[in-house]
Amino acid sequence: MPDTNQLFTLDRLDPQVVALHEGMQAQGLVSADPLAMPLHEARAAAERSHVFLNRNAPAIRTEEIEAAGPAGPLRLRLYRPPGGEGRPLPALVYFHGGGFVVNSVDTHDRLLRLLAVRSGAVVVAVAYGRAPEHRFPHQHDEALAALRWVARHGTSHGLDSGRIAVGGDSAGANLALGAALAARAPGEPRVSFGFLFYGMFAHDFHTPSHRRFGDGRYGLTTARMRWYWGQYLGHGETTRDPRAAPLLADLSGLPPLLLLAAGLDCLRDDSLRLAERLAAADVPYDLTVYESLPHSFASMTRLVEAADGAVTRAALAVRRHLGT
Q: What are phi and psi of 143, to 5 degrees?
A: -60, -45
Check residue 10 and give its pLDDT: 54
- Name the band, by pLDDT with cuts 50, 70 and 90, for residue 11: low
Average pLDDT over residues 253-276: 98
269 has catalytic annotation: no
CA–CA gap between residue 141 and residue 94 (Å, rounded): 14
User: Which residues make beta-bridge pairs with 61?
Assistant: 80
Check residue 235 and give its pLDDT: 74
Residue 86 has pLDDT above 60, yes or no: yes
Residue 150 has pLDDT above 50, yes or no: yes
Q: What are phi and psi of 34, to 5 degrees?
A: -70, -5
What residues contact 204, with CB distance under 8 A and at least 6 apart? 210, 270
The pTM assigned to this predicted structure is: 0.96
Q: Which of 3-12, 85-94, 286-295 has the highest mean pLDDT?
A: 286-295
Q: Which of 50, 140, 203, 295 is catalytic?
A: 295
What residues contact 102, with CB distance under 8 A and at least 6 apart? 32, 34, 39, 42, 43, 46, 130
Q: Which of 170, 192, 271, 299 is catalytic?
A: 170
Q: Which of 14, 169, 265, 269 is catalytic?
A: 265
170 has catalytic annotation: yes
The CATH code for residues 4-322 is 3.40.50.1820
295 has catalytic annotation: yes
Check residue 85 and give its pLDDT: 77
